[in-house]
Amino acid sequence: MRMTKADVIDGSEPLSKALNSILTTGTAVMITKKGKYYGLIDDRDIRQVSNASRCKSITAAVRAPHLKENSSLEETMQAFMAGHFKALPVVKSGRIIGSVSRADVMSEMAKQGKVPKTTVSALMAVPIYTIDQDEDLGVAKTLMKKLGIHHLAITSRNKVIGTISTFDLSMVLLKPKGRQRFVLISEVSNADIKPVKDYMREKFVRVRADEHLDTAVKKMAKHNVSKLTVTEGGKAIGVLTAVDVMKFVLSLVAKGPNVFISGLPEEAMFYYGDIEASVGGAVGKFKGTFEIGDVYVHFKKGKSTYNMHTRIEIEHGALVVHTEGYDLKTMVNKNVSEIKRLLTKRKNYKRDKRKHYRTEGFYERAG
């Protein structure tokens, strides 16, 4: 798989250095502790600090999974989907030897001929939300919050000319004078009345809705982007992301429900496969009874306890299971047992309901 040089920063270095790198590359910074991989920082993980030069990078690092030199395409996609990361490190003996981005995954997918034979329109997300280039920044912030989205397409005379994201809104500028430091937009006087075009990212690539998905994947790889603006008749109508593509491909090759795990502490990453198998196995036993979609598992480690939050997409709804415990293994087992219990309860209810309808129908006909 295509691999590039990783952007590596020691966790003791100031967060401002990591932020500056993210602004330059647009992907992620890999954080090390005592020379070994610790975690990463991307634009979603920036903490709301007023002076990043006084904060250590390690405080903002997320314990994300890493790749091996021989990781398969499927294993790589699973790792990316664990937290929708923009880039992940390739690690050997604890040391970072390179980095793989979502665009690199698209390149490998095209190279191996793994792209499904369908059109862009089958996977694109609609609608695409837009805002005029002269609209106030405050309006863009309110719109994204109200719609629950992270990106807006910026238009000029109804033509898309760029994009703006929550990252562009929450980060911002290096002070030109004195000691350089990152400040929040909220700290900049009257920032909300500035036009969105001042914070616009112009790097975006288009693809037609009727084009083959393979064409879109190759465009992502060629232009090193993980998102395309989808057009029809010259107008923007949707968005296609690398995450959408990876999720679809995984759903085609998966033997059971896709299980995406995030937040697992680095010291517990060894158990990633076991947890995936346990949760997937428990849910998979009910595939013949329910329409089961993806399973999302998120871990959060407190001072003395672990929290495990599992969300299962099931028959146009969701089943949520939350457990807490002092021991990771015990907590996972408890979570899996609760999943089995709740799904069994649903299964029995569904069976009894079906039996009831058949009985009622019999008596109606008999009468």
Domain range list for the chain: 8-101, 120-248, 254-366
pLDDT of 303 reads: 80
pLDDT in the model for residue 181? 40
* Number of Cβ atoms within 10 Å of the Cβ of 177: 5
pLDDT score at 363: 45
- The pLDDT value given to residue 43: 67
In 3D space, the residue among 159, 149, 154, 126 whose CA is nearest the CA of residue 240 turns out to be 126
Q: What is the pLDDT of residue 209?
A: 94
Q: How many Å apart are CA 45 and CA 47, to the nearest integer?
A: 6
Say whether 254-366 and 120-248 share the same fold: no
Low-confidence stretches of the chain (pLDDT < 70) are 43-53, 167-191, 201-203, 254-256, 266-267, 270, 354-367
Q: What CATH code is assigned to 120-248?
A: 3.10.580.10
pLDDT given for residue 282 in this prediction:
92
> What's the pLDDT tens digit per position in 43-76?
665 544 555 667 888 888 888 889 999 999 998 9
The pLDDT, as a whole number, for residue 182 is: 43
Superfamily of domain 8-101: CBS-domain (3.10.580.10)
Threshold 0.75, pTM exceeds: no
| CATH class, range 254-366 | alpha beta
Cis bond upstream, residue 127 (ω within 30): yes
Contact status, residue 193 vs residue 29, Cβ threshold 8 Å? no
Query: Closest Cα to residue 41, out of 11, 81, 5?
Result: 11
